[in-house]
Chain A
Amino acid sequence: MIELSDIRKVFNSGKPNEFVAIDGITLSVERDKVLVLKGPSGSGKTTLLSVIGCMARPTSGRITLSGKEITSLPERFLTEIRRKSFGFVFQQFNLIKGITAMENVILPAYPTGEGFSVLKKRALSLLELFDLSERAFSKVEWLSGGEAQRVSIARALVNDPSVIIADEPTAHLDTKLSKDFMEIIGKLKVRRKTIIIASHDPIVYESAAVDRVLEMRDGRILSRATRQ
């Protein structure tokens, strides 16, 4: 589904504080599978996720998505691909405060120009899927941590992307909620989503839903791949 070949990401290139965050990663992400990137903080997980998710361009290397080369696409197309193909779940949830859960869910779909009633229906059914029907019209700051995360997952799904990217999704959740999250991931897998998670939380990488775990260190993937 997604092929990375020899990806490098260098920050502050050419300056004294030059930093190689990703150092030549070649990786193939399989369709409809759950991939976990684990590794210590600073190992380059977040950077790799943003490169895969078309949020940042690699310094060098090639990425293909469903066989299409996307590394050299201009910004506008890249945004469109990102919007259509990727849904993001952030560590801090990154919901927009002061507006309702429903509006937060719709937000990524606004620029698509779809009709509001269609979007609203879709958002409400997603919220229902995550047992949030009653909270649909509450402001997000009134939601609990678990609810906020489920809203952010619903938001990631609103454009019906094929890939879900989650960066440290359980960092702010207790054990129970973390397990709930992995359950949701299992459900999404059934719904034929490709899922890439960066996490060093055992609850995540030891979960039964996970198909493959790769360990990262210093911007590289350790050759010893766990559970494959």
Chain B
Amino acid sequence: MSRFNKQRNILDFTLSSLLRRRTKNSALVIVYTLIVFSLASVLFFTQAIKKEACIVLQNSPEIIVQRIVAGRHDLLPADYIDTIRAIRGVQSAKGRLWGYYFEPAAGANYTLMVSEEPGVEVGRIVIGQGVSRTIHANRADIVPFRRYDGSYTSFEVSDILSSESELVSSDLVLISESDFREMMGIRGEYVTDAAVYAKNKRELFMIADKIKRILPDTRPITKDEILRTYEAIFDWRGGILLVILSGAVIAFVILAWDKASGLSSDERREIGILKGIGWETSDVIAMKFWEGAVISLSSFSLGIILAYIHVFFASSALFEPALKGWSVLYPEFRLVPHMDPLQIATLFFLTVVPYTVSTIVPSWRAATIDPDTVMRL
């Protein structure tokens, strides 16, 4: 009890002491909170997307076979699919028909995809929320499209995809096969690529290998590679945000170092007085510990909480400009919240611990001065 009281007493003094340089220390807490906030926001955002990608894309085609012509992917002859289907271990192989459509009026890019979703018929399309938002198209509206030959055609919007699915479907225009072919001028013996499923998931690699051998002008992309792509994309080392952030982090480190390590003569004097009036070396160090802990713990917890609100309640609003970029059509999605205790612990050890340590260490020497120095201050 008295030990607890003692720490609380020392904490009292530390707080009084911190409050003396109110503006400086508040500025420090604000900057520190901002840093934790930004780091945690990036971390939460990327981790949540990674997690979501992992779950959602688990169901993407197991192998996608592209045809490569002159180093670029090209339309795949439909008879390739029969060849693939004949490979042992292949459960099914289906041609996918899809492409991009640039809408000049809005300046937006759509992904056109042939599908047999309900609502997709000749003359009728299903669109994603992003498309609907960008061109203000609602159910039963007629949307014009430009054909490959420059003439125009139009389709009726029969349905709009759910907003929950926006993270995968925002820019989709689901269209019937005959409309797609007619609009894009793709003849019946070609598809965009092929989606292949294997009987045994463990044979994927082998099947991909076999496809590559039998059809040398193709490039099979396995689901593993797709998932790995997403892992890599959102590995949070990459990215301009972190480049900018690291600048901020470095600035903060300098600031913190200056603040924490540059024990001013006033502070030395105070430590001398404390020692003189009966504080032990360990009491002085405890005070310095609290000084670091008060600032870093407050900033840390505030930063984490704000980042969580930012990413999972405010749809990462502050990242929007960076993520949006040149895109006109931008998916509005709410990420599924995900908190990894290990991540939080990592962040803790990267922020709170170094700051607190860098507050204590420089005061160590000052704390061991002889108490009689106080007589000659």
Contact = CB atoms under 8 A, between A and B. Distances in A.
Interface in B4-53: 4-6, 8-10, 12-13, 16-17, 20
Contact of A55 (B5, B12, B273, B372): B372
B6 A46 contact: no
A110 B371 contact: no
Contacts of A115: 5
Interface string A177-202: 00000000000000000000000000
A111 B5 contact: no
Interface residues of B, number: 32
B377 interface: yes
A120 to B, nearest CB: 10
A111 B371 contact: no
Given A49-B375, A55-B371, A82 B278 contact: yes
Contacts of B183: none
Contacts of A95: 273
A116 B13 CA distance: 11
B9 A94 contact: no
Contacts of A159: 278
**By CB atoms of chain A within 10 A, which of B3, B4, B9, B277 has the most?**
B277
A90 B374 contact: yes
A15 interface: no
Nearest to B8: A116
A96 interface: yes
Contacts of B372: 50, 55-56
B371 A46 contact: no
Nearest to A111: B283
A215 interface: no
Interface in A96-123: 96-100, 103, 106-116, 119
**By CB atoms of chain A within 10 A, which of B1, B3, B6, B372 has the most?**
B372
Interface string A83-101: 1000010111011111110
Contacts of B278: 79, 82-83, 108, 111, 159
A71 to B, nearest CB: 15
A96 B273 contact: yes
Contact of B10 (A55, A92, A94, A110): A110
A110 B278 CA distance: 9
Interface in A34-54: 46, 49-50
A107 B273 CA distance: 10
Contacts of B9: 106, 109-111, 113-114, 116, 119
Interface string A64-92: 00000000000110010011000010111
Given A46-B375, A56-B372, A113 B2 contact: yes
A2 to B, nearest CB: 17
Contacts, number: 99
A173 B91 CA distance: 100
Contacts of A106: 9
Interface in B325-358: none
A79 B368 CA distance: 13
Interface in B254-296: 266, 270, 273-274, 276-281, 283
Interface string A113-152: 1111001000000000000000000000000000000000
A46 B1 CA distance: 38
Contact of A113 (B3, B13, B270, B279): B3
B20 A99 contact: yes
B2 A55 contact: no
Contact of B12 (A49, A91, A92, A110): A110
Interface in A155-177: 155, 159, 167
Interface residues of A, number: 37
A94 B377 contact: yes
Contacts of B277: 83, 88, 107-108, 155
B370 interface: yes
B376 interface: yes
Contacts of A116: 5, 8-9, 12
B6 A55 contact: no
Contacts of B376: 46
B5 A79 contact: no
B377 A92 contact: yes
A37 B3 CA distance: 39
A88 B275 CA distance: 12
Nearest to B12: A116
A98 B5 contact: no
A76 B375 contact: no
A111 B375 contact: no
Nearest to A55: B372
For the complex of A and B, 9 pairs with smallest distance between CB atoms: A113-B2, A83-B278, A98-B20, A113-B6, A55-B372, A50-B372, A110-B9, A56-B372, A108-B277
Interface of B: 1-6, 8-10, 12-13, 16-17, 20, 266, 270, 273-274, 276-281, 283, 370-372, 374-377
Given A46-B376, A79-B278, A83-B277, 6 more contacts: A55-B370, A55-B371, A92-B377, A98-B16, A111-B280, A116-B5
14 contacts: A46-B375, A46-B376, A55-B374, A79-B278, A90-B276, A94-B276, A98-B17, A103-B13, A107-B13, A110-B9, A111-B6, A113-B6, A116-B9, A155-B277
